[in-house]
Amino acid sequence: MENELLTYGLALLVGLFLGLTGGGGSILTVPILVYIAKIEPVSATGYSLFIVGVTSLIGMLSYFKEKLVDIKLAVLFAVPSMISVWLVRHFVIHNLPDTILSIGGWSLSKDTAIMFFFAVVMILSSIKMMFFKEQTQGHIQYIDPNFKAAVIGGIIVGVLSGLIGAGGGFLIVPAITLFMGVPVHLAVGTSLLIIALNSLVGFTGDFSHLSEINWSYLLEFSLFSSVGVLVGVYLGKKLNPKRLKSVFAWFVMAVAVVIMFDFFN
């Protein structure tokens, strides 16, 4: 693996923002694996699911100890999400043709298409972080989880997670705060559990397709990102992460622009 020190430093950053916001940090994992660690995109999306799953699980435990995880909501959301992500990883992502589109002398490869779609999702994620105003516990009324909304949301997040190898937290947190009235700290803890279940189950869909899995690298990356998530959880309880989140959003946007530039060149 190339640039290991830089990769692990960025792994800390991934965990930090995952712990602070319950999502968002994982969106950087695939670009780190592709552009820094030099792993091809399809494998990188699979590796990302494992890393994000382990990191989210570690972060969730801190919230769980303080009763800031809604198990019922997590299960309602996670079950359809897990089924969707597993189906996408096992039957779709690895069976895409190497050339998605060919027009005249121009062709679009599977790897390039994945990274382009990933860049689009990164842009949408950064816009959400810039302009979405999180509700505070004092301004909303917490209601029981809505079954239909949870299932539909779970399917959407599962399909997206399967395609890009991210946990989908940037969709989960606003969805359950806006539409289900979940206080933001409870939403972050619950989101981490959903992401962990979703990502780790999705990773199992790659077992029969990845010829060789570099477990030592996966565990090392996950260790650094897990340290980062614990720091993020701690800071999230002490600081207002709004400004940090804005800076991170611009950083995500910049990375997406670089990926887009690479696509058009």
At 118-133, the pLDDT tens digits run 788 888 878 876 776 5
Residue 6: how many CA atoms within 13 Å on its side-chain side? 10
Q: Give the per-residue pLDDT at 21.
A: 67
Share of the chain above pLDDT 90, in %: 8
Task: Find out whether 193 and 78 touch, Cβ atoms under 8 Å.
Answer: yes
The neighbouring-strand residues paired with 103 are: 106
Query: How do residues 184-223 score in pLDDT, each as one tens digit?
Result: 778 878 888 988 888 888 888 887 677 688 889 899 999 9
Predicted pLDDT at 138: 43
What's the pLDDT score for residue 134?
54
pLDDT for res 199? 85
Q: How confident is the model at residue 140 (pLDDT cuts 50, 70, 90)?
A: very low
CA atoms within 13 A on the CB side of 30: 29
Chain Cα centroid distance, residue 111: 19
At 99, give phi and psi (nearest 5°).
-110, 110
Q: Write out the two tokens for 21.
A: 């916001």
First to last CA, the chain: 25
User: What SS3 class is residue 59?
Assistant: helix
Measured between alpha carbons, how far is residue 263 from residues 33, 111, 176 in Å?
17, 10, 34
Q: pTM here?
A: 0.77
Of 48-52, 138-142, 187-191, 201-205, minimum mean pLDDT range:
138-142
